[in-house]
Amino acid sequence: MGFLKTTLKVLGIEDFTLSLIIIILTLFFLLHIFPQLYQKNPSKPPVVFHWLPFIGSTIQYGLDPYKFFQKQKERVKKPLLYKYLTFLAWKYFYFYFTWKKNDTEEAYTHLTTPVFGEDVVYDVPNNVLMEQKKFVKTGLTIDTFRAYVPLIIEEVKMYLETSPIFGKDKLSGISSLMKALPEITIFTASRTLQGKEVRNNFDASFAKLYHDLDGGFTPINFLIPWLPLPKNRLRDAAQKKMAQIYMDIIKQRRKTCQHEEEDMIWNLMNQNYKDGRKLTDKEIAHLMIAILMAGQHTSAATGCWALLHLAEKPKYIKLLLEEQKRVFGDSLDNLTYDNLKDMELLSYVIRETLRLHPPLHSIIRKVKSPIQIENSPYIIPDNHYLLAAPGVSSIDEEYFKDALEFIPERWKYEKNTEDSEKIDYGYGLVTKGAFSPYLPFGAGRHRCIGEQFAYMQIGTIITTFVHELEWTLPKDKTTIPKPDYSCMVVLPERPSNIEWRKRQRN
């Protein structure tokens, strides 16, 4: 300390507090700021400038990922580096989704395994995951979709008639879509994929378990998974209880051999791995939890955004009703899965909603070994995480005219935005699609296998709403709510109300 004082005195600085501040600021500049401004290693991607060490741009990115990328637009023509995270621009998405040296399992397992359970999804090697995806996809057939449509109609109509949100015996009102759509999607998904036993339990204890389990799906658990939070304790207890419920259902089915209708549990009970081994009851239970949790938020978000956009532009509700009458008449009893595929405007509405609001704003992979970026000098080091936000390109004027406007009919004239080339990663042929600026369901080996089910589920929900209700935004609202990026799935800000009136028919 004496040497420090003497040195400062020689420099003409005698106030020790002031001198300490100067030293700290100098060290901060030399160790944190200077390396960002002058990178020695040309193989490293440019750094996203940030004032805060360790935290970096995390808060800025988390508040609005798309705004972050747009602000960095000139720089994100290259990859951007922050500490152990590399942000990728759209031109690198093909590399991101298809490169074998990046790993999804290691990126997500600490978040998903406590929720889904062990020995499934990201808690197993990739080749086993591909087999499990194939098992699930086997249960998502055209025949099952045909059987599911009337079940979804029944659930939605019952909800509109009996739920407190829309009010029993009410003819009009103002209701929150952010309350209604999550419940509708979970009821319809449980009634179709999960089976009668699960749906019948969902109004009671199962709903509480679902809520506690869902509490584990938070960004903080991705960053710091080991925190002993009360939500995590509830999550762990709920996971064990829910898994036991599924295993009891499976045990009872094996005992009675009753096979009343087709659902995913029956499908998984009859699947074998390549080595001949059947799935254990525990694996089936954990896969059923994964199916329940993974699809609920994304479908709820898409359905909610679609109904909000229709409320903002009710002319499309009128056009959808006219389309219904042309395709299947006046009665919902006539609606079939094949009818859904014939309703072009409905398809355009869903696609346009997904373009403006892809459910996941950010997707992450872990680098297993150094990766040379194609046609660039940049090398991504191992143990880094790659982050991509596919939704950025889908609202870019470079690829879509009037990109921020909800214009469903654009899809009538829009050229096919997905590559036609297909590849089998072990669970059936899927479109590569990674060169497209429109990637709401991802691409590559981890492309969502529930895409067709989601279109069927959301399409049936929207069709039932249009058939049963008229709705607009409340009179004090002129635009739809802003996106809430604090969750892992992009939801509209609460309460997301609509003003509705039940259609009167003779």
Which residues does the annotation place in the binding site for heme? 448
Quick one: tokens of 241? 């209880």
| Angle in degrees, 0-180, between the axes of helices 16-28 and 2-10, rounded to the nearest 10 | 90
Q: Which of 452, 441, 447 is nearest to 360 (CA)?
A: 441
Q: Which of 199, 171, 204 is nearest to 184 (CA)?
A: 199
Quick one: tokens of 137? 């996809």
- Contacts of residue 242, defined as CB under 8 A and 6 or more positions apart, other chains included, come to 206, 209, 210, 213, 285, 289
Q: What is the DSSP string of 180-225?
A: HHHHHHHHHHIIIII-HHHHHHTTTHHHHHHHHHHTT--HHHHH-T
Quick one: tokens of 267? 């499908």
Round to whole Å and give the CA distance between 133 and 266: 15
Q: Give me the amino acid identity at 345.
A: L
Rounded to the nearest 5°, which phi and psi values hold at 383?
70, 5
Residue 127 three-state SS:
helix
Rounded to the nearest 5°, which phi and psi values hold at 12?
85, 15
Are the beta carbons of 444 and 98 closer than 8 angstroms? yes
Rounded to 10 degrees, what is the CA torsion of 68, 70, 71, 75? 100
Q: Give just the sign of the alpha carbon dihedral 375, 377, 378, 382.
A: positive
Residue 116 three-state SS:
helix
Q: CA 90: distance to chain centroid? A: 18
Beta strands in 215-301 (DSSP E): none
Question: Rounded to 5 degrees, what angle do the CA atoms 308, 310, 312 make?
Answer: 70
Round to whole Å and give the CA distance between 338 and 38: 60
Is residue 62 classed exposed, middle or buried when 0-12, 13-18 and 19+ CB atoms within 10 A define those classes?
middle
Q: Give just the sign of the alpha carbon dihedral 303, 427, 107, 381.
A: negative
Residues 147-157, buried b or exposed e (16+ Cβ, 10 A)? Answer: ebbeebbebbe
Round to whole Å and give the CA distance between 21 and 188: 61
Output the known binding site: 448
